[in-house]
Structure 1
Amino acid sequence: MRNVFKIFAVLAFVCAANNSFGQITKIRGKVVDSSTNEPIPYVNVSFKGTTVGTITSESGDFFIETRTAGDSLTVSFVGYAPKQIKIRKGAYQELKVELDPESIELAGVIVKPGESQSTRIIRNIIKNKDKNNPSKLSYYCKSYNKVQVDLNNIDDDVKKRKVFNQFKFIWNYVDTNAITGKTYLPIFITESLSDYYYQSSPKLEKEIIRATKISGVNNESVAQFTGKVYQNINIYDNYINIFDQGLVSPIANAGMVYYKYMLVDSTFIGNRWCYQISFKPKRKMEPTFTGDFWVNDSTWAIVKVQMRLADMVNLNFVNDMVASAEFTPLNDTLWFPKQMMLFVDFNLTDKTTGFFGSKTTSYDNVVINPTYPEEVVSMPSNVQVQEGALNQEKDYWEKSRPFELTDKEQGIYTMVDSIQQVPMYKTFIDIINMFINYYYVVGYVEIGPYYKTYSFNEIEGNRFRVSGRTSNKFSKKWMVSAFAAYGDKDDRFKWGVSSLHMINKNPREAFNIEYKSDIEQLGQSPNALTEDNILTSFLRRNPNNKLTLVKEFSTYYQKEWFTGLSNKLTLNHRIVYPTVFIPFNPVDGSDPLKSITTSTITLNTRWIKNESFVAGEFERVSLGSDWPEINLNITKGFKGVLGSDVDFWKLHLNYYHKFNINPFGYARLIVDAGKIFGSIPYPLLQLHEGNETYAFDRYAFNMMNYYEFASDQYASLYLEHHFQGFFLNRFPLIRRLKWREVVTGKFLIGSINSENKNNLVFPDGLGDVSKPYMEFSAGVENIFKVFRVDALWRTTHLDNPNIEPFGIRVGLQIIF
């Protein structure tokens, strides 16, 4: 993952070089009444002779940032004398504008500010949304995308930090942001030029990236995210989903429930008569915006919009956010986006150093209802990076960009590459990489993960482990991993070694071979903290004496056929050994088994539509999808093969779906079912996932013990709902904490046939779940922005030994 990590690491040590390119004019100001000094809201501020402008907020503030500025601003509002103000093009400036009240007669006024007019306009916009919504069209276009990241709040204290001593020259490129008034340093930039194909029904979305530039990174898997597919904000949607928050669009069907509207102006834009509407939220802390838009009076299509995140919205680490869009007419009835912009200020507080993220998308050469080439329709993934896209020449970019880059924007590419050669930067990268990826890189080797170096448990006592893997410097095709561990109580060494060969990265194709001899907790969820994690040692609720020694050889071949569909074929030979606490005693009273051996082959089929990844050389991180994920496992056990003791079949189906239920937050649904055919001992049954720690585990039954329930046929249902503060935001004192409600419910039912019950004697406490198991929880997340606390109730099987009907679990999570 080191190439992926580079993107984020660059955010601390890069800057811009000095070249002569276009400049951006930035104006930040306030409009007040000259006689009372009171701020004036909803004042029109625009460049003379253009439609480039904005209106003031309720506090009289405004900002404008544009590449196409005039030499003066026009400031006007009903009841005040208009004023023109000279400005400096290509520079940042702050203004205080004083308007003089005047008495005027408004003979022949066509429209007047007022609630009734604005309500009529909003109803017409909503009525015509479907025909004006670009996502309801089928089209082709060329798109340009630019993403930039800036380090903000650059003051003298920041400049004096020793960590920047070798980079003092970067402070020559500090600038000021017009939206926030904060100083910032441009540190990262990426651009892309694409052919984009979209079909509304049946849904088709394909993008071919013809050219892309990423400062400091030359990674095709990262390049795919520079295009349009992963950057979609549509004002015509009822809810704009950003950072798991469903923000209410100002033209949502239920917009009048959330917003107050005011008609503030009307004029021609081009040859189209348009109205200007301002909007603001009716209540505090609801997921809404403030801002204004222009709408055409014949089509009721949005012509321009600028919206800013409302104050006190329950979002973490987002101090400010502004989105804007400009549309252009394609014909008499159809408007299409011309340019869209998103700006986010990521900060813990208004004063701390943080980051700006900005994204600009421009559209050109739009064709409605095109013929889609077969080679585009049959693309295996939604995004394809054309060969050579990362290596386009300077002349190509200068001819293809819709606008010139500023000197600082252009200079970032050169400076990032230069800074990365500084030894201090490389040391910084290695240290941060260790904390993020849990490995420390030493040449051809990565040592870690460090959180497994020491742990303790009832079986091993103090466990000491050393482990590592080869780095990308060793190979970008092969990765060898190994570990060795020792427990001072059982006086036994454990070890393991594996080798991963990456045949192809996209679509993914890989081969792995592995052997290990180590202890395991059977019946533990895949999401749980492993038993050799130091945190597990401290978070256990009960001393864990249920660990089992396992010797296992496995190899797999993984093939991704296209984005969303993959298969994985696994061969496995596994020997499980008994312990004093987990004995293998036959029901018929014969001698205890010394081990249980299985030889199996498993075929996994995984399907999830429109999934996206950020990938390194070997590992990749899923960014999820709006579609459900389905996994089907078919396992066959072969008796007599390499000493295998059992012959069986096992089917397992898992369904996972995360989906929005705006305005009530979002939910996760997990359905799990399986069946085993054949006679097998209890360690090979489905040992249902318990949790004997204080850590909340989404994929386990948190009030269930290990070895409490087993099945050879089973079904489970898990539903988790995050209300995102929908209820707590209504309480004036509590809402300032930005806590969020979360509730869960888990249900399990299963059975064990008589043959499997009469194979080995079950350990004390292990039984079937023919009577359904249920547990529920209610919790609060976003405590200090990182903690989650759940109160859980177990409602069935309350007579089982050593169980708790009620418990508290905690979780650590970083969420927006």
Structure 2
Amino acid sequence: MKGILTIVFVLLCSTLWSQTKVSGVVLDENKEPLPYVNVFFKGSTTGTTTNEEGEFYIQSSKNFSIISIVFLGFESQEILLKSKINKIKVVLKEDSTTLDEVIIVKQPKKRLKKQKNPAFRILKEIWRRKKKNGLSLVKAYQYNQYSSRELGFGNMDSLFMRKVLRNKFNKMKNYVQKNYENNTYYIPVELIEKSEKVYGNNSLGKIRRDIEGERKIGIHQLGKYVDRATTIFKEIDVYNDDIYILDKTFVSPISTSGFGSYDYVLSDSSIVNNRKEYTIHFFPRQKGDLVFKGHLKVVDKSFALTSIEMEILKNVNLNFVRDLSIRKTFLLKNDSIYLPKTNTYKGEFTFLTKNKKEKGIYLVKNEKFSKYVFDHEKSTDFYDVKIVQKRANQYKKEASYWKRKQDEKINETFQLVNKIKTSGKIKKITGTIYTISDGYFTPITGIQLGNLFTTTAKNDIEGVRLRLGFKTFKTNNDRFRILGHGAYGFKDKKIKFGLEARYLLSSQPRITVGAAYIDDVEQMGFTKFNERNLIPQPDKGPKAIFVRGDNYFLAKVKKKMFRFDVEIVNNFNMGIKFAHEKIISADPDRFSMAFFNQKNNKTINVTNDVYSDFYLNYQPGRVTEGFGVDRQLGTKLHPKLLINYKKAYKGIFGGNVDYEKLSILYNHPLPVGKFGVFDPTLIVAKTFGKTPLSVLTAVPSNQTYFLTPNTFALLDYYDFVADSSVEGHFEQHFNGLLMNRIPLIKKLGLRSLLTFRTVYGSISKRNKKINRSSIKYVAPNRKPYFEYGFGIENIGYGNLRPLRVDFIWRGDFKNVNGPESPKFGIRVGFKTSF
């Protein structure tokens, strides 16, 4: 009996772990690679096509003994496989019986005018219809969507694999995806699966998405840049003229302006399901531009896509991304409606260079669409319902549920991640990546220290200032979080600190509460708006290590704060903050913040500001993930509207000032196709009532050598003080468009930009009258103050290109406070971007 059970067990294991893997290259008789050749296992639908170098890789958990290779104009071949893992080279011969002439599709050396290009007629018909995915042609629709997102490490050698899998290495190595080009492995460390039911109504313009099941396994915490990279494959519609990926604007291959960015070649046509199907190949005209290379297939008469495959070139002006590919297929409902069938997105990201041998992170996302139903309309209220995730296991399903959804490849990945997730080696790597990305490290479970990149600053009050923060952290979805910091100045020899607690009170509607206490030195009048955190962000802006001129314009501040925030609808928040602040100049001899109280005829040096701060925050289109008190933000460009109304209360809890302040900010990055992104910000502010300097908003200046958003780089602190002001900050980022066209320079991967900033404002007589500070109140009320310049960004080496350098000039103004500000300056910015 035991023997029989042993045999059955061995047979079951061999069935579960059987797998056929084939990689290789397909060439013609002249040893030239053949792209887009169909390769599949005989007797199955599992297959692929060769890439531009004629290379391919396919695998299956089933045993296959033959692969078929088919390409129009060449003789088909069937190759007998000798083992479960094969690496082969195939040479195809021309088929003289089907074609008089065989054309190998390559980028043309001579460009045709679009009217003379055979592909133009077909593309023009695609533009004219622009049916997107066909769902817009029906009143109402619904369908099922299953998606999987696999995240892991690429180019890992066998030694690393042995350390991760240990005694399971020999058993499992054949079931890990392998890169046969350099004999390395792809190791999955996280897998997320999601099953959704989608309902749409075109008459109402509404879409409802219900998550039926979700499963996560593996190690997730890899840092904010990896988190943002995982959101790159959301809602990519190739029918749009522009495709937004990683906050960059790519020109779609079927854009109406595509002939300005692509070369097109109509390669052939074939009959598929009694319909004529054309194949069009597209190539970048300028290799460094944000465009793709690939091919699409389109059906005659309806001119709707049946499939599209595209990838970026290796030398595209994009950081950290070694490879990026998109494959979409569509199914036919009738002659006019083509619907999404499958989406496959792949990306590989490296830290230093784009070298194929460098270790990196890979991301694979698969989507499958099924069970379409049309014109079954629901009630209007039905589409407004939104199911919000409140707990981690809310969408938990049994294993049998996921087996019905998965294909064999996803099932294998799940098994691998389940075994790898406990690996100490993997946890060590993910922890290092998180520290490099976010600046935090975990000395003990549940506590993180950082940010390591903002520990040092300098000013004339504290001298060199050291700061270290902390936060509680179990998972990204913690409902409760405590964070704080401690700081020490080597000149004033004093310790400062801040402590904040935040709690997610409700998930639907989303309600958060927070409280904080701060005893620190701050730059007053530097910001007009309610920040996301009650504690100011780590030493940025005025508190930096490299500064120009004197900076003793600081105040000692003790704050007690409480905030209540509710998300009314998605990405529309309303909240109120109550605060008590005690403000006194950090150096009264050089920088007085005193004001005159006319009622008791006294000069007051200490400001007790008791106020409420009501705000609205609307950011339509913002991508968020997670359901904890802090959510992760995506990279998608979106507008932002902030409105703050602040009211101070004199006589309550010792308050000695009475004023009101209204501030409005609107920012709306606008993609302008291949010309990059235009990023304008408008700020309007008005203060009512008698307001001392300690709580009056100065025109935001910047005396560091670093760029700070929405500030003026060539103004000193308190050069301008205004109780009414209008600001405009405008930047045009060309994303390499200009630099890519300059010989020699284009190899450096630089990007250019233009900047213009201006402010117009005034100061009231009543505020001038109560002023007893050492600052003279001056406002840009006769003519606007402005700064203009140009910059170069994406400076660095390999993938590490965080540096931006701006060259800035300013208009003339009469300086009355302190030394004359510089008329020209060079400022540096640091921003890690793709």
Q: Under TM normalisation by the shorter chain, which class is it?
A: 0.7 to 0.9
> Residue 634 of structure 1: SS of its match in structure 2?
strand
The change in CA–CA distance for 1:782 and 1:65 in structure 2 (over 3 A counts) is farther
Distance across 2 between alignment mates of 1:367 and 1:665? 39
Q: Which amino acid aligns with 1:777?
A: G
Aligned residue among 548, 557, 562 for 2:569: 562
Distance 1:89 1:570, change over 3 A: farther
800, 803, 806: which one aligns with 1:787: 803
Partner SS, residue 828 of structure 2: strand
| TM-aligned CA deviation for residue 20 of structure 1 | 1.8
- Residue 533 to residue 90, structure 1, CA distance change in 2 (3 Å): farther
1:4 aligns with none
* Residue number in structure 2 paired with 1:85: 78
Relative to structure 2, which stretch is displaced further, 336-345 or 586-595?
Answer: 586-595
Q: 1:396 to 1:530 in 2, by over 3 A?
A: closer
Counterparts of 1:355 and 1:466 in 2: how far apart (Å)?
30
In structure 2, the CA distance between the partners of 1:197 and 1:428, relative to structure 1 (3 Å rule), is same
1:614 Cα deviation after fit: 3.3
Matched letter for residue 788 of structure 2: F
Q: Which amino acid aligns with 1:565?
A: F
1:332-387 C-alpha deviation (Å, 9 max, x unpaired): 32111111111112233222101221111110011234423556422357x76899
Paired position in structure 1 for 2:559: 552
Q: CA deviation at 1:199?
A: 4.1
Secondary structure of the 1:148 match is strand
The amino acid that maps onto 1:781 is: E
Cα distance, 1:538 vs. partner? 2.4
Partner of 1:270: 273
CA shift in 2, pair 1:262/1:70, >3 Å: farther
State the partner residue of 1:191. Answer: 193
Shift of 1:87: 5.4
Per the alignment, residue 812 of structure 1 pairs with 830
Per the TM alignment, residue 124 of structure 1 is displaced from its structure 2 partner at its CA by: 2.2
Q: Distance in 1 between matches of 2:480 and 2:689?
A: 39
Judged with a 3 Å threshold, the aligned counterparts in structure 2 of structure 1 residues 363 and 532 are, in CA distance, closer, same or farther, namely closer
Partners of 1:713 and 1:751 within 8 A in 2 = yes
Q: Judging changes above 3 Å, is the alpha-carbon distance between structure 1 residues 683 and 108 closer, same or farther for their aligned structure 2 residues?
A: closer
* 1:412 aligns with one of 384, 395, 416: 416
Counterpart among 384, 390, 400 of residue 405 in structure 2:
400
- How far residue 808 of structure 1 moved from its aligned partner, in angstroms, is 0.9
Looking at structure 2, the residues matched to 228 and 242 of structure 1 have their Cα atoms a distance apart, in angstroms, of 9
Residue 490 of structure 1: aligned partner: 492
Q: How many residues align?
A: 784
SS in 2 for 1:687: coil
What residue is the counterpart of 1:713 in the other structure?
A: 724
Spell out, residue by residue over 1:685-712, the C-alpha distance to the aligned partner (whole angstroms, 9 max, x if none).
Answer: 2212111111111222222221111111
Structure 1 equivalent of residue 206 of structure 2? 204
Matching residue within 582, 601, 621 for 2:591: 582
Identify which of 353, 378, 388 aligns with 2:384.
378
Q: Is the 8 A contact 1:609 1:625 kept in 2?
A: no
Distance 2:652 2:274 in 1: 81
Judging changes above 3 Å, is the alpha-carbon distance between structure 1 residues 711 and 172 closer, same or farther for their aligned structure 2 residues? same
Aligned to 1:686, the other structure's residue is in SS state coil
1:65-88 alpha-carbon deviations (Å, 9 max, x no partner) = 78999943233443x5x1313254
SS in 1 for 2:403: helix
Task: In structure 1, give the amino acid aligned to 2:401.
Answer: Y
**Equivalent of residue 666 in structure 1, options 657, 677, 682:** 677
Match of 1:542 in 2: 549
Structure-1 separation of matches of 2:516 and 2:132: 57
Alignment deviations for residues 29-61 of structure 1 (CA, whole Å, 9 cap, x no partner): 23222xx33445666666779998776666555
- RMSD of aligned alpha carbons: 4.0
Q: Deviations over 1:128-170 (max 9, x none)?
A: 223765567653210010111232112356558x899799677
Select 2:634's aligned residue among 623, 629, 636.
623
1:461 corresponds to: 463
Offset at 1:715?
Answer: 1.1
Sort the Cα spacing of 1:376 and 1:22 in 2 relative to 1 into closer, same or farther, 3 A.
farther
Q: Go from structure 1 to structure 2 and tell me whether the alpha carbon gap of 1:442 and 1:535 turns closer, same or farther (over 3 Å shift).
A: farther
Cα deviation, residue 488, structure 1: 4.6
Partner of 1:502: 504
Instruction: Find the residue that maps to 1:411 and give its secondary structure.
Output: helix
Quick one: percent identity of the two aligned structures?
26
Question: Is 1:73 aligned with 2:68?
Answer: yes
Partners of 1:197 and 1:615 lie apart in 2 by 22
Q: Distance in 2 between matches of 1:303 and 1:180?
A: 34
Q: Return the letter of the residue paired with 1:411.
A: Q
Contact 1:19 1:407 in 2 (8 A): no
Partner Cα separation in structure 1 for residue 15 and residue 417 of structure 2: 12
How big is the shift at 1:297?
1.2
Contact 2:349/2:362, CA 8 A, preserved across alignment: yes
Per the alignment, residue 29 of structure 1 pairs with 25
* Aligned counterparts of 2:468 and 2:39: Cα–Cα separation in 1: 65
- Offset at 1:217? 6.3
Name which of structure 1's ranges 487-496 and 120-129 shifts more when overlaid on structure 2. 487-496
Query: Mean Cα displacement is larger for which, 356-365 or 449-458?
Result: 449-458
Higher deviation after alignment, 486-495 or 671-680 = 486-495
**Residues 708 and 444 of structure 1, relative CA distance in 2, 3 Å threshold:** same
Work out the CA distance in 2 between the residues paired with 1:90 and 1:611: 50
Deviation of residue 743 (structure 1)? 1.7
Letter in 1 for 2:624: F
Distance 1:18 1:639 in 2: 80
Q: Distance in 2 between matches of 1:45 and 1:703?
A: 62
Q: Is residue 329 of structure 2 the alignment partner of residue 318 of structure 1?
A: no
Gapped runs of 5+ residues in structure 2?
A: 1-12, 109-115
**Which residue in 2 is equivalent to 1:295?**
298
Call closer, same or farther: CA 1:46–1:541 in 2, change over 3 Å.
same
Q: CA deviation at 1:536?
A: 4.5
> How far is the alpha carbon of 1:533 from its aligned partner?
6.6
Q: Among 605, 610, 614, which residue is 2:621 paired with?
A: 610
The alignment status of 1:96 with 2:89, answered yes or no, reads yes
Matched, 1:260 2:267: no
1:334 alignment partner AA? I
Change in Cα spacing, 1:726 to 1:216, as seen in structure 2 (3 Å) is: same
Q: Which residue of 2 aligns with 1:281?
A: 284
Shift of 1:404: 3.2
Partner of 1:392: helix, strand, or coil? coil
Q: Secondary structure of the equivalent of 1:500?
A: strand
TM-score under structure 1 normalisation? 0.85
Q: CA deviation at 1:413?
A: 4.2
1:243-258 to 2 correspondence within 5 Å? 243-258=246-261
Provide closer, same or farther for how the CA distance between residues 412 and 682 of structure 1 changes in structure 2, counting only shifts above 3 A: same
Distance 1:285 1:747 in 2: 34
Greater Cα shift, 85-94 or 141-150 = 85-94
Change in Cα spacing, 1:490 to 1:352, as seen in structure 2 (3 Å) is: same
Q: C-alpha distance in 2, partners of 1:50/1:165? A: 35
Is the 2:594–2:606 Cα contact (8 Å) retained in structure 1?
Answer: no
Contact 1:599 1:641 in 2 (8 A): yes
Deviates more, 1:634-643 or 1:439-448: 439-448
Contact kept in structure 1, 2:218 and 2:421, CA below 8 Å? yes
Q: Distance in 2 between matches of 1:322 and 1:484?
A: 46
What corresponds to 1:11 in structure 2? Answer: none
Instruction: Answer whether contact 1:560 1:566 (CA < 8 A) is retained.
Output: yes
Post-superposition offset of 1:23: 5.5
3-state SS of paired residue (1:120): helix
Give me the TM-score of the superposition, normalised by structure 2: 0.84
Residues 1:458 and 1:28: Cα distance change in structure 2 (over 3 Å): same
In the alignment, which residue of structure 2 is the partner of 1:6? Answer: none
> Cα gap change, 1:609/1:455 in structure 2, threshold over 3 Å: closer, same or farther?
closer
Distance in 2 of aligned mates of 1:469 and 1:531: 13
Q: Write out per-residue CA displacement over residues 214-249 of structure 1, whole angstroms, 9 at most, x where no aligned residue.
A: 113699xx9x99999972222212222111232222
Asked if structure 2 preserves the Cα contact closer than 8 Å seen for 1:208 and 1:385, the reply is no
